[in-house]
Structure 1
Amino acid sequence: MVSSINEYLLTAYTPDHDQLPCHTLMIPLPAICRLHRASWTQTELFLTFPPPVLKSITPIPHDTPEASGRFRLWLATENKNHSKDPLIELIWDRKTQGGFPELKDLKQGIRDRIQPNLSLGHSDKKTKE
């Protein structure tokens, strides 16, 4: 039995999580969910963060009551604490954040974690003066 979402994502992606490439985005989806939104999101994010910035974006079947109706996006990055396990961080959760994300919000959240100096052009945050 999997004890945490981090453990689930690690084992769902690869049995040997030493091979989990950083920076990896993972999108757990219920089996009944159509992949249109995940596929579109994947394409748009790869256009903004092409390899080697993002190594992979992986939709993962996750058919549990907890996953039903959810759109979550997780980011695995290198753990700076010299641990072999990557740091896995929730970027978006549809249920807790009140809906599907705007693509610019996802891009900003990912950029802030993996390439903070990258300009996103028209998708960038507007500064309040």
Structure 2
Amino acid sequence: MAEAETCVDCKPENQSVSPTSGATSATTQEHNHLDPSTFVPPSPSITPSITIEFCDRCRWLHRATWTSTELCLTFPTPAIKAITIMPLNAEDTAGRFRVWLFLDGKHPVLVWDRKVEGGFPELKVLKQRIRDHIQPGKSLGHSDK
């Protein structure tokens, strides 16, 4: 799916629905969907691990599984012990594609957010960001060139 395409099921990023009235209004500062400091990560079961959250209504399952496969091949156990793909299907998760990194005893790291970054991750960049947290100095071969 090209980045310019939009999901017909998802609301535009600058609108939200009031849970009480159902009315649509402009996004407020408290609920800024482009501010990573307000994002709440899912809870992992083991570390180090990666969780890929994606909007199921946007049909991004294939992209999430492809990304997880590439990360499994690049960071085999014990570097990464688990990769979870998490389909989401709610109004507040419309258009979401996030990659989280969970490390032992540390706050979860948001490695990628489609809305903040302006598109889907190029695997080279995603792998470099993850590597910098879990195995600094490790060569990624052609992904480092």
Shared topology, TM-score over 0.5?
A: yes
How many aligned positions are there? 107
Q: For the aligned residues, what is the CA RMSD? A: 1.8
Q: Please state whether the residue corresponding to 1:61 is helix, strand or coil.
A: strand
Aligned to 1:23: 48
The alpha carbon displacement at 1:65 in A equals 2.0
Could you tell me whether the CA contact under 8 Å between 1:28 and 1:67 is conserved in 2? no
Q: Is it true that 1:91 corresponds to 2:122 in the alignment?
A: no
Aligned to 1:119: 139
User: After alignment, is 26-35 or 43-52 more displaced?
Assistant: 26-35
Percentage identity across paired residues of the two chains:
50
Aligned to 1:83: none
Could you tell me whether the CA contact under 8 Å between 2:46 and 2:82 is conserved in 1? yes
Output the CA distance in 2 between the equivalents of 1:122 and 1:37.
Answer: 21
Q: Is it true that 1:35 corresponds to 2:61 in the alignment?
A: yes
Q: Is it true that 1:67 corresponds to 2:67 in the alignment?
A: no
Q: Is it true that 1:78 corresponds to 2:78 in the alignment?
A: no
- AA aligned opposite 1:53: A
Aligned to 2:40: 5
The alpha carbon displacement at 1:30 in A equals 2.4
Output the CA distance in 2 between the equivalents of 1:61 and 1:39.
Answer: 11
User: Aligned to 1:51, which of 74, 77, 99?
Assistant: 77
The alpha carbon displacement at 1:102 in A equals 0.3
TM-score for both structures, normalised by structure 2: 0.68
The alpha carbon displacement at 1:61 in A equals 2.5
The alpha carbon displacement at 1:67 in A equals 1.6
Structure 1 gap segments, 5+ residues each: 14-19, 80-85
Q: Is it true that 1:108 corresponds to 2:128 in the alignment?
A: yes
Which structure has the greater CA radius of gyration?
A: 2
- AA aligned opposite 2:60: R
TM-score for both structures, normalised by structure 1: 0.75
Say which structure is richer in helix. 1
Q: Encode CA deviations 1:72-111: one digit per residue, 9 max, x unaligned.
A: 10011011xxxxxx52110000000010010001000000
Output the CA distance in 1 between the equivalents of 2:54 and 2:96.
Answer: 7
